[in-house]
Amino acid sequence: MDKTSMSDAELLHLVRSGDPSGLSFVYEKYRKEYFNWIRRFSRCDADDACEYYQGTIVIFYENVTNGKLTELQSSLKTYLFGIGKNLVMHEYRKSQRGEKVKAEFIIQSHLADSAQEMLSEENDLALVHRCFERIGDPCHRLLQLFYFNQKSMEEISGELGYKNPETAKNQKYKCMERLRKLVEGERPTNHAVMTAE
Amino acid sequence: MENQRDQELILKYIDRSANPEEVNEVEHRLTAEPEFRKMHSEYNQLPLGIRYHAMADKLDQLRTLETALPAVAPESGVTRLIQYWKPLAAAAALILAVTFILLYNRSESTADLFARNFEPYPNVFEPTQRGDDVTDKRASAFAMYEQANYEGAAAVFRELLAEKQEPEILLLLGNANLVLNRNEEAKNNFLTLIRDFDGLDEQAKWFLSLCYLKSGEREKAKLIWEELGDPKITYSDKAKRLLKEVK
């Protein structure tokens, strides 16, 4: 089906299905309008506009993938611009520090807010991110399905071919233990590098 | 030696699949056992990090896509005029009509709105009682603030903040700076208060919105009023009214 003729609901469905062309299409569709809008709205430059937009699209992607956004109450464009508005709102808290807008920080703040964690977790997020890259399958897939896609153990055991949900649950426990050890093993080295710098 | 039951218990707690008894046990042991607390904290960061990983991956893909797309040139005034000629024509007609009406019914300027809505926050933190010794630096600052000697109060509040950051003092110094037309310093006081402390967020946001109103940054002020519009918030009515008035 030609994406240009898709309704917002169909686009949402495409993004949820995991087809990467869906998110790329949404990204390109509203990019120009969003850039121009946010540059006027927050008086930022082109680089900041791009960072805001990428942060917005990634938050939208998470909301769709984890089932938080199943149905739009407004148009997709309004929804995306709404996220952008909230991000600008959040930025005024940081404006005193004179920081440039960075999509990574936008995502980290969003996650910290959603989990009601303090922002000091930021460094830990990057550390876990690096370790998680190295963990390999099946742990990588299993943990991502559980914590990012918010799938149940029943769904995961079906998707990854485990005998039953209990087996998947045991595997998840082992994977978490492995990831924890990777992260804790990385922490002192990290500290040594930072000290050396 | 780490105990497998403890690890499973912590994971159940983090995943919100623990039963009420298990929740009680975890919460009790978190306060009583440092080793248990350490293990909890090591596990607790993982789910957020996994979510961050998935989002950071997607961000990388978007960055790659972005490099392949043409740069977005800022819209010139002419481009926008062409794009929006129909709504602009309608807007022009509306402006003519509104101008006509305004000749008879002048709307309030930003400065008028600010003046009508700003009232310095009272010193409810350390009120001066008759007979108090106000030779003490701290007490004298609060006393000067109460007597509307904002210049004197601000000077001492700054000294006190240099020694120790305190939310109550930041709030009152921000107010004094607003009275004294030091808008930028006032903004910084309220932004610091919002960023670094929790207890006076609503007050800080309200006065920060008035800073924005005063400096003509209406969009930023409106964003805050939208946030303060929640009926549970003290400033809800004022925020809603201002939102209507500046629309």
Q: Kindly state whether residues A30 and A18 are assigned to the same domain.
A: yes
User: By residue range, what is the domain housing residue A158?
Assistant: 118-197
Domain boundary among B107, B142, B177: B107
Give φ, ψ of B133 to 5 degrees: -85, 105
Q: How far apart are CA B156 and CA B150, in angstroms?
A: 10
Average per-residue pLDDT for chain B: 84
Domain boundary among B107, B141, B170: B107
Q: Number of structural domains, chain A? A: 2
Q: How far apart are CA B1 and CA A69, in angstroms?
A: 43
Asked if residue B60 belongs to a domain, the reply is: no
Q: Kindly state whether residues A85 and A110 are assigned to the same domain.
A: yes
Q: Kindly state whether residues A132 and A177 are assigned to the same domain.
A: yes
Q: Kindly state whether residues B103 and B125 are assigned to the same domain.
A: no
Which residues neighbour B197 within 8 Å (Cβ) at sequence distance 6 or greater? B167, B170
Q: Kindly state whether residues A96 and A131 are assigned to the same domain.
A: no
Q: Kindly state whether residues B98 and B201 are assigned to the same domain.
A: no
Task: With CB atoms and an 8 Å threshold, state whether A36 touches B72.
Answer: yes
**Which residue, among A33, A48, A54, A122, would best test binding to B if mutated, counting the most B CBs under 10 Å from its CB?**
A54
pLDDT at A96: 46
pTM of the model: 0.59
Instruction: Find the angle CA(A23)-CA(B58)-CA(B56) to the nearest 5 degrees.
Output: 155
Q: Choose among B52, B58, B220: nearest Cβ to A128.
A: B52
pLDDT at A126: 82
User: By residue range, what is the domain housing residue B22?
Assistant: 4-55
Q: Kindly state whether residues A104 and A122 are assigned to the same domain.
A: no
- The tens-digit pLDDT sequence of chain B (247 residues) is 468 888 888 988 888 888 889 899 988 988 888 888 888 888 888 888 898 898 998 998 988 988 888 887 776 655 555 556 667 677 777 887 776 665 545 456 778 888 888 988 988 888 877 776 667 888 889 989 988 999 999 999 999 998 888 899 999 999 999 999 999 999 999 998 888 887 788 899 999 999 998 888 888 888 889 888 887 778 888 898 888 887 7
Domain boundary among A117, A142, A163: A117
Give φ, ψ of B180 to 5 degrees: -85, 10
Task: Please check whether residue A3 is in contact with residue A11, taking contact to mean a CB–CB distance below 8 angstroms.
Answer: yes
Q: Kindly state whether residues B44 and B90 are assigned to the same domain.
A: no
Helix (H), strand (E) at residue A179: helix A165-196
Asked if residue B62 belongs to a domain, the reply is: no
Q: Per residue in A118-127, pLDDT tens?
A: 555 446 888 8
**Which residue, among B62, B224, B228, would best test binding to A if mutated, counting the most A CBs under 10 Å from its CB?**
B62
Q: Choose among B11, B50, B56: nearest Cβ to A144.
A: B50
CA quadruple B164, B165, B171, B173: dihedral, nearest 10: 50
CATH code, domain with B154: 1.25.40.10
Q: Kindly state whether residues A97 and A166 are assigned to the same domain.
A: no
CATH code, domain with A111: 1.10.1740
